[in-house]
Amino acid sequence: MSVFVLRRLLTLLATLIGASLIIFLVLDALPGNAAQMLMGADASPDAVRALTVKLGLDQPLTIRYLQWIKGLLSGDLGNSYVYGTPVAGLIAERLVLTIPLAIMSMLITVVLALSAGIYTAANHNKLGDVGVMSLTQVGLALPNFWFAILLILLFSVRLQWLSAGGFAGWDDGIWPGIKSLLLPAISLAVVQAAILARVTRSAVLEVLREDFVRTARAKGLGKREVLWSHVLRNAMIPVMTVMGLQFANLLAGTIVIENVFYLPGLGRLIFQSIANRDLIVVRNCVMLLAAMVVIVNFVVDVLYAFIDPRIKVHDL
Amino acid sequence: MSDPASAPLIAVDNLGVRLNTSRGPAQAVRGVSFALKRGETMGLVGESGCGKSVTALSLMGLLPDSAVVSGSIRLEGRELVGLSDAGYCKLRGNRISMIFQEPMTALNPMHAIGPQVAEPLRRHKNYSAAQARKEAIALLDRVGLPDAARRVDAYPHQFSGGQRQRITIAMALACEPDLLIADEPTTALDVTIQGQILDLIADLVEERGMSMILISHDLGVIAENVQRMMVMYGGTVVESGPTNEVFRRMGHPYTQGLFRARPRLGAREGTRLRTISGTVPELADLPAGCTFSDRCPLVEDRCRAALPPMVEVGPGHNVRCLRTDVSMADHVGALSA
Amino acid sequence: MSAPLTSLLDAPVAARPLPARTFWRRALRHRSFVVGGVLTLLVLASALLSLVWTPWSPYEIDIAAKLKPPSAAHWLGTDSFGRDIVSLLLAGARSTILVGIIAVSIGLTFGVCLGLIAAARRGWTEEIIMRFSDFTFAFPAVLSAIMLAAVVGPGMVTSIVAIGIFQVPTLTRLTRGSANAIWAREFVLAARAAGKGAFRITIEHVLPNILSILIVQATIQFALAILAEAALSYLGLGTQPPQPSWGRMLNDAQTLLFQSPMLAVYPGAAIAIAVLGLNLLGDGLRDLLDPRLARER
């Protein structure tokens, strides 16, 4: 493993620890008493005290933090205050929906954005470029949950092709599941794709101005070949950076979109747990989302090193 | 074409290029004509913005899409003006190659140098990957890249500027082109490296019997490396002829000015560099007559009326000036007057 | 909190007198600036208008008049509580802009200060600030709002703080990046040679020179804040009823999709217009304030 990857790995660890500290401090240290919140204002002090002891909330903060981290590392996240079942199980149940949803919408984002971005850059200042760019400008302005509602209006209310919400699960094969995630994935993807398409376009245009593009043309390569074999790889660096950051938005977006479509995913679990004051579930879900964001960005950083030969040397 | 040996390899006739610049459309090149035989070398001199690079790019068919090219460019009798991009792609890197000014940016930083050198071979000669790689190593070796066999998989950032220019030369020569266009190939390099690179180019041109168009703003480089030369100013050729002739009897006031604005070693202490007064005109608003009239010490009213014709002042030596009688009689004295 | 903000607004006049007339002459010919400006003014005007006048009271419930189609009395009809849609939209602009302005101010105050400090101090200070902004990146606005809502309960303040926090790292990075570029310039070197301290250099040279970048980014961040506010209100984490908000209106409308689909269209269109306006305005300002970028187009 190169020094570069090792250094990034250390940063990753530091970021994860930092994020876990923030989450713990905000959710566990700041609010008076979780047990009190759980039982409501008019619960008897004795009952609250009993619950506090039962949940281990009478321990000092450091101990509780360390216990949580220990649990995270061993996969034992404790039991939900409300359901009494293991948090890890609750989360795993929901991830079966959220992860495919995130992957589907990321795929749609990338396909839409790269084709639109490359198309517009290759047809710079022509009619197609101006048209697609105006469309992306509109796409940037759409709130994704509103776009989702519009999709429901069109495909569920008017055309009645797809259901307005709910999740079919994976038991009857892949297709029903994918079908019920299609509208949510599209509504998440379109706004992100608008951003990514604009980034792709300007990255490709910037690389097209480079001298080595002229060199490649002077070797006898056609415009299209230069675009595919010389330009895209160079343009991918900024595009990938934004893709990594977008993954964070996308995960956050699932919280909203799962609520629009009544999908029993991680986002909805967090949401319900807030309503139920089930702080232990909130804490672990937020940590999971934050960790996914950080890890995806770490992977992007490491991928740079594979794409760009210059990075390894600079960082050694 | 009666005798193939004496027929020109490339013949340019009344070439004109219109470009869209930020200040509106501009005639970047007009009335440029020349012919080059196989194995012949020609220099193109002038200040930046005089149209020499545009001329070179129009030979390569690499001008921006918005450029309008008029006149004729013939490669062995075949017309290139109006040729489709696909048609041009078959020529570029194959029959005509080009070396650019900036070796630091001319190579793709993401690809190893070997594949970049091999690319023309793969494309034009249908070499297999292994064949092309072997040939690329041989080429890199020939252009003097140390340890070529081992460094063929290294990336551009691992080489110095001089080495990178050697790599671009190897790339340009891969398919043994008939015509090599070198656009200021040493301007961006250290002085100590410049000579080596120019010698390398000269050797390779000689060895392979190529024709070469060498573009430079440096009269010294031109004097030592080419048989014939053309001086350009404001998009037109103001003087052309055999290099020796032009340096011996400079006919155009601009050529003289260019020559005297050159810093020299061994000049007497206190000698001032003579500059040409005024600035290069914007291509978008050139004067009506002689393009140099606004800066010329010998200018008369008739110079501003119309673009002067080329006048033959010696065997193969032409000057676009109405006042060659004065300028060539005693050019040093006349100009300082 | 107000001190850095005032100096930020005063700086262009003091440090670099913008040729105001040339600016406006160019600006009025710039298509996206004009369109964006008009849309933004429209939203601002609606918000201001709603303070003094709305066709009906946005709080008045009239169950008898519920879900009325558009008419002369109710231009866009009424919602399920019989409230006038136009009035709700106007009053919703108020919440949106209020949350946006305060959140962006929080983001700007902290982001710009942290970024300037990082650029001025370098070394460990910079490292700590940047690492901190790194892991704040792991918490998009919705996530931090959820955490806050879990602790202090949902509400306008929760959404303002959450959106403000989410603005900080972007602005910190941008400020630090641009400030570093200014610190490397010759005139800063000259100022240092003249014995000026880091604080004076930051105020006199760095801040004025990165101001146009910050103005452009603030416009974009404002648009992002509006989107985030809408999402949080939609989820019920932001602005609380009866205070009207566009996101909340969408949430109400979603349950009535089959009966009155248009109720779900108006508030979303209002959000989209506000965001589109600010984005176009930001693009226009970028072209107008940064001639270097404009020429590349």
pLDDT digits (tens, 9 = 90+) for A53-75: 777 777 788 888 898 899 888 88
Out of A211, A212, A218, closest to residue B92 by CB: A218
- Read off the tokens for B241: 């002829």
Residue A1's pLDDT is what? 53
Which residue type, as a one-letter code, is found at position B6? S
Q: Do A274 and C257 touch (CB under 8 A)?
A: no
Q: Say which residue the tokens 């991680």 belong to.
A: A266
Sorted by sequence, the CB contacts under 8 Å of residue B176 that are 6+ apart come out as B208, B210
Does the C75-296 domain belong in CATH 1.10.3720.10? yes
Which residue type, as a one-letter code, is found at position A166? G
> Reduced to 3 states, what is the DSSP secondary structure of residue B182?
strand
B60 at A interface, C-beta within 8 A: yes
pLDDT tens per residue across span C147-171: 777 777 788 888 898 889 888 988 9
Report how far residue B122's alpha carbon sits from residue A296's, in angstroms, rounded to the nearest whole number: 38
C44 at A interface, C-beta within 8 A: no
Q: Output the CA–CA distances (angstroms, integers) from residue C19 to C26, C35, C36, C293, in the order listed.
A: 11, 22, 22, 18
Test mutation, A137, A145, A284, chain C, max C CBs within 10 A: A145
Report how far residue B130's alpha carbon sits from residue B152's, in angstroms, rounded to the nearest whole number: 13
What ipTM, to 2 d.p.?
0.83
Residue A277's pLDDT is what? 79
End-to-end CA distance of chain A: 12
Burial A256-270 (b: 16+ CB within 10 A, else e): bbbbbbebbbbbbbb
User: The sheet that has B317-319: what strands, in order across it?
Assistant: B96-99, B179-183, B211-216, B41-45, B228-233, B236-242, B317-319, B311-314
Residue B272's pLDDT is what? 65
Q: Do A145 and C258 touch (CB under 8 A)?
A: no
> Reduced to 3 states, what is the DSSP secondary structure of residue B80?
coil
| Structural contact between residues B99 and B185, judged by C-beta atoms closer than 8 angstroms | yes
B93 at A interface, C-beta within 8 A: yes
Residue C127's pLDDT is what? 83
Q: Do A308 and B86 touch (CB under 8 A)?
A: no
Of the candidates A314, A262, A242, A233, the residue with the CA atom closest to the CA atom of residue A2: A314
Cα A313 to chain centroid distance, Å, stands at 31
Q: Go through the domains of chain A in sequence order and give each one's CATH number.
A: 2-74 (no CATH), 93-308 (1.10.3720.10)
Report how far residue B78's alpha carbon sits from residue B61's, in angstroms, rounded to the nearest whole number: 14
Cα C66 to chain centroid distance, Å, stands at 34
Q: Where are the domains of chain C?
A: 75-296
Q: How far does B105 lie from chain A, in Å, by closest CA?
A: 6
Q: What region, left, alpha or beta, does residue B310 occupy, with left being phi > 0 and alpha being psi -120 to 50 degrees?
A: beta
Torsion sign, CA atoms C207, C208, C210, C216: positive
Q: Which residues of chain C have pLDDT under 50?
A: 1-17, 293-297
Q: Say which residue the tokens 């690079």 belong to.
A: B53
| Structural contact between residues A193 and A113, judged by C-beta atoms closer than 8 angstroms | yes
Q: Using CB atoms within 10 Å of the CB of residue C258, give its burial: 0 to 12 exposed, 13 to 18 middle, 19+ buried.
A: exposed
- Name all chains with 3 or more CB-CB pairs below 8 Å to chain A: B, C
Report how far residue B159's alpha carbon sits from residue B146's, in angstroms, rounded to the nearest whole number: 11
SS (H, E, C) chain A: CCHHHHHHHHHHHHHHHHHHHHHHHHHHHCCCCHHHHHHCCCCCHHHHHHHHHHCCCCCCHHHHHHHHHHHHHHCCCCECCCCCCEHHHHHHHHHHHHHHHHHHHHHHHHHHHHHHHHHHHHCCCCHHHHHHHHHHHHHHHCCHHHHHHHHHHHHHHHCCCCCCCCCCCCCCCHHHHHHHHHHHHHHHHHHHHHHHHHHHHHHHHHHHCCHHHHHHHHCCCCHHHHHHHHHHHHHHHHHHHHHHHHHHHHHHHHHHHHHHCCCCCHHHHHHHHHHHCCHHHHHHHHHHHHHHHHHHHHHHHHHHHHHCHHHHHHHC
Q: Say which residue the tokens 């048989």 belong to.
A: B227
Mean pLDDT across the stretch B205-212?
92
Report how far residue B328's alpha carbon sits from residue B322's, in angstroms, rounded to the nearest whole number: 11
Least confident of A222-226, B110-114, B309-313, C61-65: C61-65
Residues of C in contact with A22 (CB under 8 A): 135, 139
pLDDT tens per residue across span A279-315: 888 889 989 988 888 888 888 888 877 777 776 544 4
Other Cβ atoms closer than 10 A to A4: 18
Test mutation, C159, C235, C248, chain A, max A CBs within 10 A: C235
Q: Output the CA–CA distances (angstroms, integers) from residue A279 to A45, A71, A257, B264, in the order listed.
A: 20, 16, 22, 82
Torsion sign, CA atoms C144, C148, C149, C154: negative
Q: Quote the radius of gyration of chain C (alpha carbons, Å).
A: 22
* CATH topology assigned to domain B8-95+175-334: Rossmann fold (3.40.50)
Adjacent-strand bridge partners of B26: B19
| Structural contact between residues B221 and B25, judged by C-beta atoms closer than 8 angstroms | no
> Reduced to 3 states, what is the DSSP secondary structure of residue B321?
coil
Residues of A in contact with C131 (CB under 8 A): 11, 14-15, 18
Out of C131, C140, C150, closest to residue A274 by CB: C150
A206 at B interface, C-beta within 8 A: no
Residues of B in contact with A212 (CB under 8 A): 105-109
Cα C71 to chain centroid distance, Å, stands at 34
Question: Per mean pLDDT, which of B11-15, B193-197, C208-212, C236-240 is the most reliable?
Answer: B11-15
| Structural contact between residues A112 and A193, judged by C-beta atoms closer than 8 angstroms | yes
Q: Are strands B41-45 and B211-216 parallel, antiparallel or unpaired?
A: parallel
The answer, yes or no, to whether the previous bond of B146 is cis (omega within 30 of 0) is no
Q: Do C143 and A286 touch (CB under 8 A)?
A: yes
Q: Output the CA–CA distances (angstroms, integers) from residue B79 to B9, B12, B13, B18, C223, in the order listed.
A: 12, 10, 11, 19, 56
**Long-range contacts for B112-116 (Cβ within 8 Å, ≥24 apart)?**
B112/A309, B112/B152, B112/B153, B112/B154, B112/B155, B113/B140, B113/B151, B113/B152, B113/B153, B113/B154, B113/B155, B113/B156, B113/B159, B113/B167, B114/B140, B114/B152, B114/B153, B116/B167, B116/B171
Q: Do A18 and C131 touch (CB under 8 A)?
A: yes
Report how far residue B125's alpha carbon sits from residue B90's, in angstroms, rounded to the nearest whole number: 10
Q: Say which residue the tokens 């010919």 belong to.
A: C29
A134 at C interface, C-beta within 8 A: no
pLDDT tens per residue across span B229-287: 999 998 899 999 999 999 888 888 888 888 887 766 666 666 666 677 777 777 667 77
Residue B211's pLDDT is what? 94
B120 at A interface, C-beta within 8 A: yes
Report how far residue A200's alpha carbon sits from residue C89's, in angstroms, rounded to the nearest whole number: 36
pLDDT at B295 over 90: no
Which letter does DSSP use for residue B299 in this model? -
Which residue type, as a one-letter code, is found at position A41? A
Sorted by sequence, the CB contacts under 8 Å of residue C65 that are 6+ apart come out as C74, C78, C82
C264 at A interface, C-beta within 8 A: yes
Q: Do C280 and A270 touch (CB under 8 A)?
A: no
Helix (H) or strand (E) run with residue B244 in it: helix B243-248
Residue A187's pLDDT is what? 92
Q: Output the CA–CA distances (angstroms, integers) from residue C286 to A239, B249, C107, C216, C219, in the order listed.
A: 21, 55, 20, 6, 10
Mean pLDDT across the stretch B196-225?
91
Q: Which residues of chain A have pLDDT under 70?
A: 1, 29-41, 311-316
Q: What is the pTM of this model?
A: 0.81
Residue C19's pLDDT is what? 65
Residue B264's pLDDT is what? 64
A211 at B interface, C-beta within 8 A: yes
Q: Taking CA atoms, what residue in B is nearest to A208?
A: B108
